[in-house]
Amino acid sequence: MVTTDASQVRVDVHLTPDTLAAALAADVRAGLGAAPKELPPKWFYDDRGSELFDAITRLPEYYPTRAERAVLMARAGTIAAETRADTLVELGSGTSEKTRLLLDALTEAGSLRRFSPFDVSEATLRGAAAAISDEYGVTVHAVVGDFERHLDRLPTGGRRLVAFLGGTIGNLAPPARAAFLAELAEGLGPDDAFLLGTDLVKDRDRLEAAYDDDAGVTAAFNRNVLHVINDALAADFVPERFDHVARWDPDAAWIEMRLRSREAHRVQIDGIGMTVGFGAGEEVRTEISAKFTRPRVEQELGAVGLTVREWWTDPAGDFGVSLATPS
């Protein structure tokens, strides 16, 4: 489905409210029917979830956004010079706030013609698309979709720089990550490039604090998935009956986010005719956020035929940004 807001902004919608509800129903049925229980992370991001994530990016404990911004501030000019991209594609674009540094540099280099943000969250995407069209006077071709299902809907042609920032790749479990990277690489032409932001392995205290802040914003974000299920599937979750848990798993090299039921209780999900029982202390896994090392990034990109041409970190070495091209 295509809608055109204004001459400069095109929005392709591959996820309508109906298809979203059907996909959520399938995920809830499978995930809450399994042992241990699990919910996939893309459901955090309704309008309220997107706002809460935006608040997370400004928390003192949440260093990834500031660290990645520092890398982009230092390197955007080099990225523009090396890629000479005419199209900037951004996966999981959210508000595209840091992306403005890339848009500025590509504008200055004189190569930018088109910006293509891609996200599951339609309202956030439309807001960012309109603002960037206004400010940059660039053609915006936005895509509402799931980057695990709709990568083939990205605009083609020209020299594309595909950016995937924020460490969002770490929210995919290893098999899903490998599948995502294979599909992405498959769609890249010889003149395209891939810019990837990855949070890096560091000490447990800082990692766990980044996902369990004192103000409780991350806890509210985690519980928001229950509000999403209540709204979309007529469920009667009381989110406050669940505690937010964030735990670093050093063997898997990921932070695991869970919702832990405070007491034994049942939840009715009318929209899919399901009753779910929770035991006292029972946990639902809602998110992983994998942390990387440079060799790991080089290996995973290499496995799909992408060569890392540049590797940059912020001065503290907290966050890595790599620029890769098809070999």
Integer Cα distance of 288 and 171 in angstroms: 5
Q: Which residue, 87 or 93, is less far from ligand SAH as judged by CB?
A: 93
Q: Which of 171, 224, 313, 325 binds ligand TRP (CB under 6 A)?
A: 171
Q: Which residue, 167 or 320, is less far from ligand TRP as judged by CB?
A: 167
Integer Cα distance of 84 and 110 in angstroms: 8
Interface stretch with ligand TRP, choices 66-74, 123-131, 167-175, 291-299 (CB under 6 A):
167-175
Residue 243 CB, shortest distance to ligand TRP, in Å, is: 14
Tokens of 165: 């920032």
Interface stretch with ligand TRP, choices 145-153, 165-173, 182-190, 235-243 (CB under 6 A):
165-173
Q: What are phi and psi of 144, to 5 degrees?
A: -90, 110
Residue 256 CB, shortest distance to ligand TRP, in Å, is: 10
Pairing type for strands 114-119 and 139-144 reads parallel
Residues at the contact surface with ligand SAH, assessed by CB under 6 A: 42, 45, 53, 57, 65, 92-94, 98, 119-121, 146-148, 165-166, 168
Q: Residue 245's beta-bridge partner residues?
A: 258
Interface stretch with ligand TRP, choices 154-162, 215-223, 270-278, 312-320 (CB under 6 A):
215-223
In the numeric block, the tokens 């956020």 are attached to 289
Tokens of 314: 């912020």
In the numeric block, the tokens 């809830």 are attached to 28
Q: Which residue, 154 or 267, is less far from ligand SAH as judged by CB?
A: 154
Q: Which residue, 104 or 243, is less far from ligand TRP as judged by CB?
A: 243
Based on the shown chain and the rule CB under 6 A, indicate whether residue 46 belongs to the binding site for ligand TRP. Answer: no
Based on the shown chain and the rule CB under 6 A, indicate whether residue 121 belongs to the binding site for ligand TRP. Answer: no
Q: Which does 287 bind (CB under 5 to 8 A by kind): ligand TRP, ligand SAH, none?
A: ligand TRP
Q: Are 208 and 248 in contact (CB under 8 A)?
A: yes
Q: Which does 165 bind (CB under 5 to 8 A by kind): ligand SAH, ligand TRP, none?
A: ligand SAH
Q: Which does 57 bind (CB under 5 to 8 A by kind): ligand TRP, ligand SAH, none?
A: ligand SAH
Question: Which residue minimizes CB distance to ligand SAH?
Answer: 166
Based on the shown chain and the rule CB under 6 A, indicate whether residue 40 belongs to the binding site for ligand TRP. Answer: no
| Helix, strand, coil content of the chain in percent (nearest 5) | 40, 30, 30
Buried b (16+ CB within 10 A) or exposed e, 195-212: bbbbbbebeeeebebbbb
Q: Which does 211 bind (CB under 5 to 8 A by kind): ligand TRP, ligand SAH, none?
A: ligand TRP
Cβ-proximal residues to 51 (8 Å cutoff; 6+ apart), any chain: none
Based on the shown chain and the rule CB under 6 A, indicate whether residue 289 belongs to the binding site for ligand TRP. Answer: yes
Residue 96 CB, shortest distance to ligand TRP, in Å, is: 15
Per-residue DSSP letter, 114: E
Q: Which does 121 bind (CB under 5 to 8 A by kind): ligand SAH, ligand TRP, none?
A: ligand SAH
Cβ-proximal residues to 315 (8 Å cutoff; 6+ apart), any chain: 70
Helices assigned H by DSSP within the chain: 17-33, 47-56, 63-83, 99-109, 122-136, 174-187, 204-210, 217-233, 294-302
Based on the shown chain and the rule CB under 6 A, indicate whether residue 56 belongs to the binding site for ligand TRP. Answer: yes
